[in-house]
Amino acid sequence: MNDLLGSGKRLITHLSLWSLFWGCSGGVIQRVDQGSLPPPPSKKGFLQLPPGPPYTKIYLDDRFIGRYADYPREMILLPIGPHLLKLSASDHATIYARVNISGSRPFRFKRGLIKYPTYHLSSE
């Protein structure tokens, strides 16, 4: 009886692995960690957003595409090639940039949005 149960477990294991293999079209399952990215699709590349508040508005080629909060991984998948980017948030300096998106590596900014200083005037 134990031999029959053991062979049943092996059969279920083999069927599970077989369905996993064929369910993925025979491809390799790639684990995506917090710090890594999957390869971009053909003719696409990643833009990593610079640090800024979640309400920062993102414009690509003069078209609004969302806010930082819409991109929780801080990455945007874009068509390869040159683009005009505008990032604006209240109380921060607006960033205007020409970015060239590549399929080989993400475009990364070196600095984040700069907050305007706040001054408090006193009547002494």
- Domain ranges in the chain? 44-108
pLDDT in tens, 50-79: 999 999 999 999 999 999 999 888 889 999
Q: What is the pTM of this model?
A: 0.65
With a cut of 80, say whether residue 29 has pLDDT above it. no
pLDDT of 10 = 56
CA 37 to chain centre: 7
What is the structure's pLDDT at 6?
54
**Does the pLDDT value for residue 105 go beyond 50?**
yes
**pLDDT of 32 higher than 50:** no
Q: Could you tell me the two tokens for 96?
A: 């205007």
- CA distances to 56, 66, 118 from 121, rounded to whole Å, are 28, 36, 10
Task: Give the model's pLDDT for residue 30.
Answer: 34
| 112-122 b/e (C-beta count within 10 Å ≥ 16 → b) | ebeeeeeeeee
| SS3 (DSSP) at 12 | helix
**CA gap 22, 19 in Å, rounded:** 5
Please state, for a pLDDT cut of 70, what percent of the chain lies above it. 69
If you average pLDDT over residues 35-40, what whole number do you get? 73
